[in-house]
Amino acid sequence: MIKAQGGEAFAVEANVVKDADVRAMVGKVLRIYGRMDILFNNVGFGWGTDVVNTPEGLWDKTFDG
């Protein structure tokens, strides 16, 4: 949706409990843009479906920990 509106966005997969992954993610952002203004830290896991089609029961499992 961001790109459809003329913006730029990309996702980086990283294990945020691993320092090397976090450093690599920040390094990628800095190489591409030269700075980091916003970071959306969305930690979790996937169920093999997209956000719109995820059944409510799986959302419950996601947020119940």
Q: For the chain, 65 residues long, give each residue's pLDDT as a single digit of tens.
A: 998 999 988 888 888 778 999 999 999 999 999 998 888 777 767 788 888 998 999 888 877 75
In the chain, count H helices and then E strands: 2, 0
Contacts of 29 (CB under 8 A, 6+ apart): 12, 36
Contacts of 34 (CB under 8 A, 6+ apart): none
* pTM for this model (two decimals): 0.54
The residue with tokens 């691993």 is 18
What does the alpha-carbon distance between residue 26 and residue 20 come to, in Å, rounded to a whole number?
10
How confident is the model at residue 26, as a pLDDT? 93
Parse the chain into domains and list their residue ranges. Answer: 3-64
